[in-house]
Amino acid sequence: MSTPNENLPVTHMSDVYPGINPQPYFDGQIYAGKVVFVTGASRGIGSEIALFYAWAGASLSLLSRAQNALDKTKKSILSQAPRCQIITFAVDVCESQAMKKAIDEIATHFGKIDIVVAAAGRAEVYTKPFTEYDPDNWWKTVEVNIRGVYNTAHFALPHLSITSGYFVVLGSTGAQVRLPFASAYPLSKLAVHRFVEYIKAEQPNVKAFAMHPGGILTEMTKDYELIQRFLVDSPQLPAATLLRLTSGKMDWLNGRYVSANWNLDEGFGKKRSWNRMLWSIVCTFLFSSAFFLAIYDSWTRAMVTRSMIFKCL
C-alpha cells in the first residue's frame, strides 16, 4: 500500500466542496467559446467531466470506442445543456491514424482545441501473479493506458500549443500502490504521471496535469471486490476539480500530479505554501532513508579525516 510520505498533508475530500464549487463556472459560463476534447467520454468519469464543461458553456468533442454509448451520452448532455455543441467519434485511442483523423476533424470543425482530457483507460481484475497471466491481456492494459494517452497527446498538443491550452490525463493513486496481482494498471499510471512532466518540458505553451479522479465506483471498477470499500467518492469530484484546474488559477501546478481528493484550499491557493508542504515531504523521505545514512556516513568520514590532519600539524 502507499506510504504516508506519498500524499500531501491536506484534508481528504470525497465530494464537491466550496473550493471547487462549480456553480460560479456554470452561472458565469466561464468556458463559453472553449473547445473541450474528452476521450473515454461515453460513460463514467469521462461523461461526467464532459457534462460539467457543457454546463460551463464549452463546446464538446467526445471520443470512445462505442458509437451507441456515445449517442446516449450526447443525448443525455443535450437534455441538460441544450445549447452545447457536440461532435462524437467512435475511435480506439490505440489506433494512431484514427486518432489523428479525429483530432484533425475537431480542429477543422471548431477551429481550435482548448482543453484535452485523456480519460480513456483500461483495468483488469487480476487474481494471480503476472507470471501466470496472459501476456497479451496484461500488455493490452499497458497499451491503452500509455499508448492511448501518447496518441492523444501526439496529435492534440500542436493545437493546444496554439491556444495555450490544457492537457489533462486521468492518473491514479494506484501508481503509488504495491498491490499484488495488479501490476499492469499501476505501472501504466506511473508512466503517464511522468509523461506530463515531459509535456511541460517540451511544450512551453501547454499546461499539463496528471489528475487522480478519486476512488469512484464505475463500470471499470465494479468487479474489484478487494477495493470496493475505497470506492466512495462522487463522480462530480473530479469534474468540479477540473473546472478549477483548467481555469488558469492553478497553472503553477503545470507538469505535476494532482489528486482530486486533495483539498485545494489548504495551501494550494498560494504557490509558496504548497511548495513548502511538498518540500517537507521530500525532506521527510530523504532524512528517513538510506540516502541520509549515506550522507551522514560521508560527513562523518570527512570530519574524522579533518581531525587527523589537524593532529598531525
Residues taking part in catalysis: 185, 189
In terms of phi and psi (left: phi > 0; alpha: psi -120 to 50; beta: otherwise), the region of 223 is: alpha
Give one DSSP letter per residue of 69-135, joined into a string: HHHHHHHHHHHHSTT--EEEEE--TT-HHHHHHHHHHHHHHHS---EEEE---------S-GGGS-H
Question: What's the length of the chain?
Answer: 313
Residues near 10 by beta carbon (within 8 Å), at least 6 away in sequence? 262, 263, 266, 267, 268, 277
| Distance of alpha carbon 102 from alpha carbon 114, whole angstroms | 15
Burial class from Cβ neighbours inside 10 Å (0-12, 13-18, 19+) for residue 68 reads: exposed
Please name the residue that has the C-alpha cell 489523428.
Answer: 100
Residues 6+ apart with CB under 8 A from 274: 253, 267, 268
Query: CB neighbours of 283 closer than 8 A, spacing ≥ 6?
Result: none
